[in-house]
A and B are shown apart, each in its own frame.
Chain A
Amino acid sequence: MSAGREPPVLDVRGLAYAYPDGHQALYGVDLQVHRGERVALLGPNGAGKTTLVLHLNGIHTAGAGSVSVSGLPVGKEHLQEVRRRVGIVFQDPDDQLFMGSVRADVAFGPHNLGLRGAALEARVMAALEQVGMAAYADRPPHHLSFGQRRRVAVATVLAMEPEVLVLDEPSSNLDPASRRELADVLRALDVTVLMVTHDLPYALELCPRSVVLHDGQVVADGATYDVLTDDALMRAHRLELPFGFDPRTVGAPPAASRGGHGSGSGVDSVTT
């Protein structure tokens, strides 16, 4: 899992950004994510998490500093390739699923990459199988349950075979079963993950490493367990564990079942 000599999948250096209205959201962010890592990006509302995420695929352009993806600098000239490498799953699946059927929606990204015919179809079905939604390929997305739509949203991005999957609040608005099913899906994926979340137990369950962003700066970067048990740090940055949850008493998170492409034991329970 360690990086070796290859460049980090995500390499953010000294990134600063101010919105056109003058509001500065990021003040020199440094963040490196290496291949195969699962990293949680934590921080209170308004910390600049979403702003940072929108820099990763070039929607925003850095005011100062640089962002590069597997060695490729994010900029106008490589935009298409950067957007293939960085797959963003947005918070509201209704924003992400805009086509008439699940299949067409998952095909949208790879189609933009130039895939056609059987190759496109294979890519679509592979992505849907990874999230356990292959049986719903011909359904209109707005007829699915919220949890199913969230999983399809993940598939729309997986179909582009990204190097890093960026999830914005993946567990928000999910019922506990859907939340757990999504965790199973994410754990079985063989892809680097950056997960923006307020759901700290979810971060502990899925991400060995956590980065805390506050007021546009990285204020902590370490093992999720250490971050969540550092009471002074947590208090200083408006992070709070939900009532009754104590990482010290939870024990180790479920073992990662990765590597076996899509056939992780966790996923099987998803395809009901």
Chain B
Amino acid sequence: MGAGHGHRLHYHGHSPLHRAPAHLKLLGLLGFMLVVVATPDHWFAAFGAYLLVLLGVVALSQVPPTYLLKRMVVEVPFVVFALVLPFVAYGEQVEVLGLSLSRPGLLAAFGILATATLGVLASLTLAATTEPQALLAGLERLRVPSLLVQIMSFMVRYLDVVTGEMQRMRVARESRGFSARDPRQWPVIARSTGALFIRSYERGERVHLAMLSRGYTGTMPEHGGHR
């Protein structure tokens, strides 16, 4: 599987973590995150221990750390929020490098940063070691309502199609001299987004038609059947 082939989050490999059943990995992630979220913010050592465990798992998965690091940019909004918090929160003030910061704000910022980082890293590790299809099959084995799994499987299937459509619309816009630098141009983007939404909706109808034509009555074959 070369670049641009396969899902951008999945890293092809044969580690024990890649081979582990998807439903166990899902349960593991869920359990880990529940524990992390339930830990009080000031138990610094506990967070350190979680990070060590997680890094151990990453090492086991043989996914290059840079591969995961690059994908951790999704965390940026949380980081920004966490950085702002000590400045805007109330409560006891402390001096750090000549700045007056709120102590509860600092603690809350640490809490957000720690849980977000652990959460993102753990989810990325799961995504890197598990094919989307296996993930869906795992959810099915965990008895997640089949309608939800169906919706997710369609999302996985059509993500590329819709992104492709979005790219083509962007290229078509820019080919006619449009650039989105100026905020006054943003309404155009909003309208394209609306058009994309309608196109996707219509595609949904066509897919449904194709399903009916093949005798669809509301139940999908299980994903687990083909592995």
Residues of B within 8 A of A25 (CB): none
Contacts of A173 in B (CB 8 A): none
Specify which of B5, B154, B221 is in contact with A111 (CB 8 Å cutoff): B221
Instruction: Assess whether A160 is interfacial by the CB under 8 Å rule.
Output: yes
User: Total A-B pairs in contact (CB under 8 Å)?
Assistant: 82
- A contact patch SS: helix
Q: Which residue of A lies closest to B137 (CB)?
A: A100
Q: Establish whether residues A83 and B214, one from each chain, have CB atoms under 8 Å apart when the complex forms.
A: yes
How many residues of chain A have a CB within 8 Å of chain B?
33
Query: Which among A80, A96, A101, A142 is the interface contact of B210 at CB below 8 angstroms?
Result: A96
Interface size class on chain B is 20 to 34
Q: Does A23 contact B (CB under 8 A)?
A: no
A225 on the interface (CB 8 Å rule)? no
Q: Which of B197-227 contact A (CB under 8 A)?
A: 203, 206-207, 209-217, 220-221, 223, 225-226
A62 to B136, CA, bound (A): 40
A101 touches which of B133, B161, B214 (Cβ 8 Å)? B133
CA distance A160 to B158 in the complex (A): 24
Within 8 Å by CB of A100, from B156, B161, B211, B216, lies B156
Most buried by A among B133, B157, B203: B157
Q: B115 near A: Cβ within 8 Å?
A: no
Asked whether, in the complex, the Cβ of B211 is within 8 Å of the Cβ of A156, the reply is no
- Residues of chain B from 84 to 139 with CB closer than 8 A to chain A in the complex: 132-133, 136
Whether the pair B161, A94 counts as a contact (CB closer than 8 A) is: yes
Q: Are B215 and A90 in contact (CB under 8 A)?
A: no
When chains A and B are docked, how far (Å) is the Cα of A217 from the Cα of B209?
Answer: 24
**In the complex, what residues of B have CB within 8 A of residue A45's CB?**
none
- Known A87-B213, A104-B223; 6 more pairs at CB < 8 Å: A83-B214, A88-B213, A90-B210, A94-B161, A104-B225, A108-B216
Q: Which positions in B face A, CB cutoff 8 Å?
A: 5-6, 132-133, 136, 153-154, 156-158, 160-161, 203, 206-207, 209-217, 220-221, 223, 225-226
A and B contact pairs by CB, cutoff 8 A, 10 listed: A88-B213, A90-B209, A98-B154, A100-B132, A107-B226, A108-B214, A138-B226, A140-B157, A142-B157, A142-B161
